Structure 1
């Protein structure tokens, strides 16, 4: 198997038997995964040829970028939950469990830049905190 094909197989796995509901959609799910593999391999090969970079290094860089983007989204969601939710203040413990951050990490994960971005994107101001008298 070509290294790019192996990377595609690793990062776009086929579904396991019994993992698709309803079961009669398993073949469709496999077909979709195969299509994703092919597209991923084609894109990775094109990027490797265009940049003359090693495909594994490119795949790692892409994974790091995706991880950074996921972390940015988590910070925005935490800012939204803690600063913009008047109906229900989410307990730190619940936010910690959902985000994978520690409780102290939840309180320090976001700051003014994230609050400002959330405010701009949802077109409203943060809810004043009751403890901020």
Structure 2
């Protein structure tokens, strides 16, 4: 192994270590209550760091891509998944909760959105996904297809 390759590997490992420390901070004394659980919480965080660093290194080796760009892509994917989950939960609260759907104000407060944003946060595809997931049709009249009249 040439010296330049060795230093490149060390630089990547340092980068992965830094990203891991950002992604999984270690708890500090006083962060964990009761305090006697602190050693266990720290050990769990250290194990999570090892697993994350190993996975990030494996992704780097497989993709031959910068670990920071991989971590950012993973964080973006997690954010998109969380946004999708919020849309599904909002659809459930408004469309699948009987005659009295959750109020816009309480959903807005819990989701960090505005009441008007709740109305447009989800659509038919989210309603369909929730219906498939819970195995029933929406209760809300807003989500029901318009009634068709039979020809006489």
User: TM-score, normalised on structure 1?
Assistant: 0.92
Asked if 1:42 corresponds to 2:69, the answer is no
Deviation at 1:115, TM superposition (A): 0.5
Paired with 1:51 and 1:11, the residues of 2 have a C-alpha distance of 20
How far 1:129 moved relative to its partner?
3.6
Task: Indicate conservation of the 8 Å contact 2:94/2:140, yes or no.
Answer: no
**How many residue pairs get matched?**
131
Aligned to 1:4: 16
Show the counterpart of 2:63. Answer: 51
1:97 paired residue among 109, 115, 119: 109
2:89 aligned partner: 77
| C-alpha displacement of 1:125 | 1.3
In the alignment, which residue of structure 2 is the partner of 1:123?
135
Instruction: For residue 88 of structure 2, give the secondary structure of its aligned residue in structure 1.
Output: helix
Superposition misfits of 4+ residues, deviation over 4 angstroms: none
The 3-state SS of whatever aligns with 1:2 is helix
10-19 vs 61-70, which moves further: 10-19
Uncovered stretches (5+) of structure 2, i.e. residues with no partner: 1-12, 145-152
List alignment gaps of at least 5 residues for structure 1: none
CA-atom RMSD in angstroms: 1.7
Task: Name the larger-Rg structure.
Answer: 2
Q: Does 2:28 match 1:16?
A: yes
